[in-house]
């Protein structure tokens, strides 16, 4: 791939890393389903209609009746003034509920993200060639199929809810009181069917949008390696830092050898230094090493006058412990005998 050339879709074989998803989020790129927001708006408005329509609708009907009774007195403006307030009281909570539902659904999908970056002007969006490619390319075809599926689902749900057309015609032949109840029943069925259809569309669209978003953020192997270098640093630098840390740890460990009670050796391959103050529950391993490090431990012990005791099986067993760990119970007797021997030898040397 030439330098500066955008990678093809087939080159993006790696899933997006959390860091790439986070960077896309910082740029305002998130998976956002408009169908889910639309369904939330419709559901919220429908709930408010069911709750507010009986009292507020009755108030509006009374206002309309008053206008009809005084039709010979009222002008067009006067009639509108009488109907304006009851209509506004009915429409305002429905519109507010729809807006709140759409806003809540949007914020839930974006995790509370509010960004103006997607609204920033871009010359790429004004490119006619790119626009035609989106319209007649794979994206346009996918959008067309999605719209057809949505219309099919909603249309089928509404057709099922309407039922037999003959039953609708029979409604017109009912008395006024019974007609109102039947109309309300059919209206509830239509609203329920529409909500169910839009819920299915919203779930499908939500999954589809998230799939497309993650697919769009897929990475090439080169991008993945570059991100790993950016986040974790150059491998050579990491190895160098690790060597420095290990070197400093060895220096600290060698510095603790003079306070050891005894150094148990293999006698040349392994060396472990044990410290024991007498009041501690068990001796602790303060230094360990193999080969070159073991030679440095032995040299530091000899310089500090710490006794060296050769015990290959015990040295190999204790070498598996971590620095600062207490001696396991199964080695208490062997270590106690060695420390007791060292103390007796020290006592004998002091008396001499």
What digits encode the pLDDT tens for the residues 62-107?
Answer: 777 776 667 666 677 777 777 777 778 778 888 899 899 989 988 8
Q: What is the mean pLDDT of the chain?
A: 77
Q: What is the CA radius of gyration of the chain?
A: 41
DSSP sequence for 144-178: HHHHHHHHHHHHHHHHHHH--HHHHHHHTTS-HHH
Give the pLDDT confidence score for residue 5 in this predicted structure: 46
Q: Which option is the CATH number for 242-351: 2.40.10.10, 3.40.1690.10, 1.10.10.10, 3.20.190.10? A: 3.40.1690.10
Domain ranges of the chain: 12-113+127-229, 242-351
Give the pLDDT confidence score for residue 126 in this predicted structure: 58
What digits encode the pLDDT tens for the residues 4-32?
Answer: 444 555 677 778 888 888 888 878 788 88
Q: Lowest mean pLDDT: which of 29-38, 137-146, 217-226, 309-318?
A: 137-146
Q: What is the model's pTM? A: 0.51
Q: Lowest mean pLDDT: which of 33-42, 178-187, 188-197, 293-302?
A: 178-187
Confidence of residue 2 (pLDDT cuts 50, 70, 90): very low
Nearest to 198 by CA among 160, 152, 164, 143: 152
Give the pLDDT confidence score for residue 100 in this predicted structure: 92
């Amino acid at each position: 791939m030439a330098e500066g050339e955008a990678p093809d879709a087939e080159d993006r074989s790696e899933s997006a890393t959390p860091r790439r998803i986070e960077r896309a989020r910082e740029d305002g790129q998130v998976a956002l389903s408009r169908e889910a927001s639309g369904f939330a708006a419709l559901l919220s408005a429908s709930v408010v209609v069911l709750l507010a329509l009986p009292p507020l609708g009755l108030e509006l009907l009374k206002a309309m009746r008053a206008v009809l009774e005084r039709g010979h007195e009222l002008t067009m403006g006067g009639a509108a003034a009488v109907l304006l307030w009851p209509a506004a009281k009915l429409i305002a909570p429905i519109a507010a509920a729809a807006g709140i539902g759409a806003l809540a659904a949007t914020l839930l999908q974006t995790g509370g993200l509010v960004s103006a970056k997607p609204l920033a002007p871009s010359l790429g969006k004004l490119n006619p060639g790119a626009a035609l490619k989106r319209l007649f390319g794979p994206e346009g075809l996918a959008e067309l199929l999605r719209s057809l599926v949505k219309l099919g689902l909603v249309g089928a749900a509404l057709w099922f809810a309407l039922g037999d057309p003959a039953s609708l015609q029979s409604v017109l032949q009912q008395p006024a009181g019974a007609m109102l109840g039947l109309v309300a029943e059919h209206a509830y069925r239509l609203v329920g069917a529409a909500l169910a259809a839009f819920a299915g569309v919203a779930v499908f669209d939500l999954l589809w949008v998230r799939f497309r978003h993650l697919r769009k953020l897929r990475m090439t192997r080169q991008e993945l390696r570059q991100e790993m270098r950016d986040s974790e640093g150059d491998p050579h630098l990491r190895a160098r830092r690790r060597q420095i840390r290990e070197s400093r740890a060895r220096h600290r460990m060698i510095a603790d050898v003079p306070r050891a009670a005894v150094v148990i050796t293999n006698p040349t391959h392994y060396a472990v230094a044990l410290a024991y103050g007498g009041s501690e529950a068990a001796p602790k391993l303060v230094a360990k090493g193999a080969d070159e490090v073991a030679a440095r431990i032995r040299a530091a012990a000899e310089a500090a006058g710490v006794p060296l005791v050769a015990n290959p099986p015990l040295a190999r067993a204790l070498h598996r412990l971590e620095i600062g760990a207490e001696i396991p119970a199964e080695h208490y007797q062997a270590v106690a005998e060695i420390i007791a021997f060292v103390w007796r030898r020290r006592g004998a040397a002091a008396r001499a």
